[in-house]
Structure 1
Amino acid sequence: MDDVSFRRLHRSMLLARRIDEEAIALQRQGVLPAYAPAKGQEAAQVGSAAALDLTRDFAFPTYRELGVAVAMDVDLVAYLSTHLNIWHGGMYDSQAARLAPFNAVVGGPVTHAVGWAMGAKLDETGGAAITYFGDGASSQGDVHEAMNFAGVYRLPVVFFCQNNGWAISVPTTQQVAGGSVAARAAGYGLEGVRVDGNDVEAVFEATRAALDRARDGGGATVIEAMTYRLGPHSTSDDPGRYRSLADERAWSERDPIARAARRLPEVEVAEAERHADEVVEQVRKGLLELTPRPAEELFSFVYREPTTALLEQQRVWKESLDV
């Protein structure tokens, strides 16, 4: 990877970390109802998303892919508006951004990505889908069905598992038989790759190769990025109840951002820090300025054509306002 590209990856990772820290602070201040931190997983997220071709590919995130949104240059105020609880799925244009609304259903985005990939294959668009999920979600039945479907139809999709060691409070060793998500790929006729999820360049290269293969008709790939969630599962979680401080410290020494920064001159790292500070201030200001959406939008965009039941609910709601 050339120096310019690597600097861009480091800059995105650093920005994702700073926005993540600000989101936690906003939740503690009562601005955000809840938040799922991504600290420690920036290389896996940024490195994989940076490999996408945004003219034809599409990404399907969970609720923890802030680094993906940053790497894809999504409007971060619009993205984080979902956490502010004033709009479901974010206020950005998903079609234009090539990033689906984030999904809080465990394993939920995996089936959506496979459906999109089937459409892309039938339409011959030449694009590929990437879907994100965790090691815990890999045990969901939907994920296995999606992989089997992708294998049977040789669909252009990359299954990107961020194995951060914990399914909330359950270690991977207790919920992934065999200990490897990537190894499961063989059972569905897919390629399986395990990569150092804290090495942003390695993640980028592995994902780019998988996307190229998918677009060329070679079928799906399961990528297992081995990383670690340095923070809690969510702002309502206390990781100290189920893992040791020594383990956290050991993984902190493998921090993906510090690791990338060692390849760069100090002046470039300092400039990236200044840029991140500026963006964080803009995002914070933008979030605080958002106001609730019109209440009637509760009934908008649910279906392309509103159903009889939905129209009846809307009528009852309007009548309740007049009481």
Structure 2
Amino acid sequence: MFLLFSISAWAVECPAPIPAAMFRKKLDDVEEAIEQRDGYLLKGRMEKVENILPCVVQPLSSELAGEYHLLKGIDLWIHRNQEMAQLYFSAARALGDHDELLQKYYPPGHQLVQDYIEALDLAEFKKVEPPAEGFLYFDGRENNKRPVYRPTIFQYYVDDHLLTFVLEPQDPIPSYLTKAQKEDQEFERERSQQTEPQVLESSSNGFVPTPVGQQMPVNVVERTMSTKRSKMLLVGASVATAATIGFGIGSYQSYQQWKTVSSLEQARVLQQKTNQQGMLTIASAAIGVGLGAWWTFEIR
């Protein structure tokens, strides 16, 4: 299986897995601190929410993501970080209407409410590469469109693992194996398998074995057949040469006997034998010469 991402590189220490309902309860605790007008309590509870966010084991809804952005914006505004508060207000407004929730804690005309209303509509998105496996979520919506200028809750679900991060505009997206990268890896793997050199060992008889399922190259076939023909021609020429010598000796012996016999009948028999041996000597010599010439041509 391909390495989709490094769990250890993204890992945080989680005391327990946090389902979406428990995350919802932690947001309620933050709202309670806002209602009590307790800035220190608000800051502490908001930090707890941020600490458990990477431990969430379920995709969040867009409504829950929007409420997180709203409460984070209120926390930043109260602690005098109005610029970042505006960005979180923009993220909250992009995901739903939170006027009713604000009016529970702040009267109309309150500066915080005004800043929320005046938050810019930062709707620009940037498409990110789809993952090789699994799903991407931005603010609870399954897609590969990351908001460019406002914070977003990024979640990646794959192989029963869910990784969750809050990404502000300047934060890089955590790395994961994209579909294009996986295709490139598969292509490179197939190409390396096709081009990998194979060393073929020669067998004891001098022939090159052919791997199972692979056709022997034409040049190897021709070279192998040529070697076999050369061996056969050499053997044939040797046999013809030996026969020539044998027939020649037999013809000479018959001729010597023919000259010494006194019987006319024996002389006629030896003469025929001498002639036959002579013809066989000539024929075997011709065959030997022909095979020798062919063998010489083959080994050139």
Using the size of structure 1 for normalisation, the TM-score is: 0.20
Answer 1 or 2: which has greater helix percent: 2
Using the size of structure 2 for normalisation, the TM-score is: 0.21
